[in-house]
């Protein structure tokens, strides 16, 4: 039986950094579900489609064959199209501005949900995103929700040299009808401002042990 750790939270709340360390320490595949939404947004822009035109995005879905895998380290998820893995292009300002509009579309989410669930058929995973505890793996007992003030999160992105209007994305992600950003009822909430990276990792591991991991 494979197991899943779900980590949800708003932009720049520390999910990816913590999930990467956990994947090493606990020998899991770290699945960045946001990269899947970013890859779809990137492709929509490549196709010259307006990400806010939901009908046009839906019409293009059958032609968009997102490939999801695991990198050579065996620890990190990968996304791509036509055998080309995507990485830096997924963090561009254009993708930052397009991704939440695309992520609102239920038809697109249904496609990605299947790809996310498929990882658990082969691997133990730590998956991070917005709806992992509520929609993707609601049955896992290992659910975390990270939060941090908007000021801190915006500063983290600026320190990375990334232009990202995270407040706008958070608003769209929290207010959408399908799979909005919110903690699962049984998620453990961690304010990542209270700790450094090692501290958050230690806190998560402590909770996992209490939960019988």
Q: Which residues contact ligand CDP by CB under 6 A?
A: 11-12, 16, 33-34, 37-38, 99-100, 103, 129-132, 169, 173
Q: At its nearest, how many Å lie between ligand CDP and the CB of residue 93?
A: 12
Q: At its nearest, how many Å lie between ligand CDP and the CB of residue 178?
A: 9
Q: What are phi and psi of 84, to 5 degrees?
A: -105, 115
Give the H/E segment covering residue 151.
helix 150-159
Instruction: Confirm if 110 and 179 have CB atoms less than 8 A apart.
Output: no
* Closer residue to ligand CDP (CB): 171 or 207: 171
Instruction: Confirm if 108 and 40 have CB atoms less than 8 A apart.
Output: yes
Residues 6+ apart with CB under 8 A from 17: 197
Q: At its nearest, how many Å lie between ligand CDP and the CB of residue 34?
A: 2
Q: At its nearest, how many Å lie between ligand CDP and the CB of residue 199?
A: 19
Q: At its nearest, how many Å lie between ligand CDP and the CB of residue 129?
A: 2
* Closer residue to ligand CDP (CB): 11 or 187: 11
Q: Which residue is nearest to ligand CDP (CB)?
A: 34
d(CA 42, CA 46): 6
* Closer residue to ligand CDP (CB): 16 or 26: 16
Closest to 56 measured CA to CA, from 69, 70, 65, 45? 45
* Closer residue to ligand CDP (CB): 129 or 208: 129
* Closer residue to ligand CDP (CB): 100 or 140: 100
Instruction: Confirm if 14 and 192 have CB atoms less than 8 A apart.
Output: yes
What tokens appear for 134 in the block? 């509520």
């Amino acid at each position: 039986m494979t197991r899943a750790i779900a980590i949800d939270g708003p932009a720049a709340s520390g999910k990816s950094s913590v999930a990467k360390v956990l994947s090493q320490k606990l020998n899991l595949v770290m699945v960045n579900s946001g990269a899947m939404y970013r890859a779809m947004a990137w492709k929509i822009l490549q196709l010259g489609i307006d990400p806010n035109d939901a009908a046009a995005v839906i019409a293009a879905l059958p032609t968009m064959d997102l490939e999801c895998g695991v990198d050579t380290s065996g620890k990190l998820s990968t996304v791509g199209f036509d055998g080309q893995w995507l990485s830096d292009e997924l963090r561009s300002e254009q993708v930052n501005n397009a991704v939440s509009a695309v992520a609102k579309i239920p038809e697109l989410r249904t496609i990605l949900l299947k790809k996310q669930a498929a990882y658990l058929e082969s691997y133990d995973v730590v998956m991070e995103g917005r709806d992992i505890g509520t929609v993707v793996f609601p049955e896992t007992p290992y659910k975390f929700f990270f939060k941090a003030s908007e000021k801190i999160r915006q500063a983290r992105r600026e320190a990375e040299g990334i232009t990202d209007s995270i407040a706008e994305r958070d608003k769209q992600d929290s207010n959408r009808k399908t799979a909005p950003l919110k903690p699962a009822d049984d998620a453990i909430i961690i304010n990542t401002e209270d700790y450094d990276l090692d501290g958050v990792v230690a806190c998560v591991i402590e909770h996992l042990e209490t939960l019988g991991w």
